[in-house]
Copies of this chain bind each other. A is one copy, B any other.
Amino acid sequence: MTLSPIPTPTATPPDILRCAYMDIVVTDLAKSREFYVDILGLVVTEESDSEIYLRSFEEFIHHNLVLRQGPIAAVAAMAFRVRSPKDVDLAEAYYQELGCRTERRAEGFVPGIGDSVRVADPLGFPYEFFYATTHVERLAWRYDLQGPGALVRLDHFNQVTPDVGRGRKYLEDLGFRVTEDIQDKDGVTYAAWMRRKDTVHDTALTGGNGPRMHHIAFSTHEKHNIIYICDKLGALRKSDLIERGPGRHGVSNAFYLYLRDPDGHRVEIYTQDYYTGDPDNPVVTWDVHDNQRRDWWGNPVVPSWYTDASLVLDLDGNPQPVIERTESSEMAVTVGADGFSYTRKDDELAGFKLGTTL
């Protein structure tokens, strides 16, 4: 199935500051609370029987994550903060020109967030744009409250979409800039990292069946904070929530860990990428066969990391249908009998590290 290109609107895009929060549906709120609050230590801004509003320690807006009890685990919204109230108007007009369904609510869709627009974007994702928010205490100095694995910032989203090139062009029109990507020599793009704030990304596109949400990522200050989270999961006999890592990414150069929440929503813990705020920030392109692209140490990417992702909802709360990727799959071209990867580009014998040991 060939997806048609997404036109560039004539409207001015909103000035997006950063990824701000994700609104996710969970099927057992108590279990999710245990994961996000008791284990990961996110800060509860407010909560009810059906919803919990969580933030990271250095955040001053109302929340970075909404957990919402519901029947199907899915993503209800991926929200970006814009520079000013009028940028919400710009966002609404921009998506209307794209022919997307939009919904504007002056009082916001969730507590702590004011005038917002939600859209079903051309890739099928439920994006939200807002400026107005309730300020809450920035707990950066509250070391008495911060545990050894303290999550200090929301760092980024990651979205699965069948045609990364198509999605990238759409996000570039919207004002995102690519910082890194993964390609092959035939020009297939397997993934692209796109930023508004001065980090490697506010969101990334991962090639695969979509629209689906690949993960949401929170930052720690140091690497030992991430290691602690693993240690704690071991102590709680929940190490099977660790899906991949910890490790060092090639892309982004960050230290990482991937967890799965009780519904299977993937959460990355991430630290120490680099400054990207200059307009001529060099784009880094990785060869899909480079075995250090996703893990700098060559440790294998587990297949579930490639195949699993969360459904996303339309504006009525129904799951968006998932469209299959038709281009090459990164897993297929790099893992197993048909795929290959190299550690050194000119090695005669390309070898996938896991392949040589398992």
Contact = CB atoms under 8 A, between A and B. Distances in A.
A338 interface: no
A340 interface: no
User: Secondary structure of the A side of the interface?
Assistant: loop
Interface string A244-257: 00101010010100
Contact of A238 (B272, B275, B280, B343): B343
A71 interface: no
Given A143-B232, A197-B275, A242 B292 contact: no
Determine how many copies of this chain the complex contains. 4
A278 interface: yes
Contacts of A17: 277-279
A227 B240 contact: no
Given A81-B278, A230-B296, 10 more contacts: A17-B277, A18-B278, A143-B234, A143-B235, A144-B232, A144-B236, A223-B227, A231-B248, A234-B292, A303-B357
A245 B257 CA distance: 13
Interface in A291-338: 291-292, 296-299, 302-305
10 contacts: A60-B281, A143-B235, A147-B148, A197-B198, A197-B275, A223-B224, A227-B255, A239-B292, A243-B357, A303-B357
Interface stretch (A6-14, A26-34, A133-141, A168-176): A133-141
A147 B144 contact: no
A344 B237 contact: yes
A342 B186 CA distance: 43
A329 to B, nearest CB: 16
A88 to B, nearest CB: 14
Interface string A152-179: 1100000000000000000000000000
A104 interface: no
A297 B230 contact: yes
A142 interface: yes
A250 B61 CA distance: 21
A146 interface: yes
A343 B240 contact: yes
A190 B303 CA distance: 30
Given A140-B274, A197-B277, A353-B239, A135 B230 contact: no
Nearest to A252: B140
Interface string A111-151: 00000000000000000000000010010111111111010
A236 B144 CA distance: 7
A351 interface: yes
Nearest to A196: B277
A270 B221 CA distance: 13
Nearest to A233: B297
A282 interface: yes
Nearest to A139: B235
Contact of A235 (B141, B243, B280): B141
B298 A138 contact: no
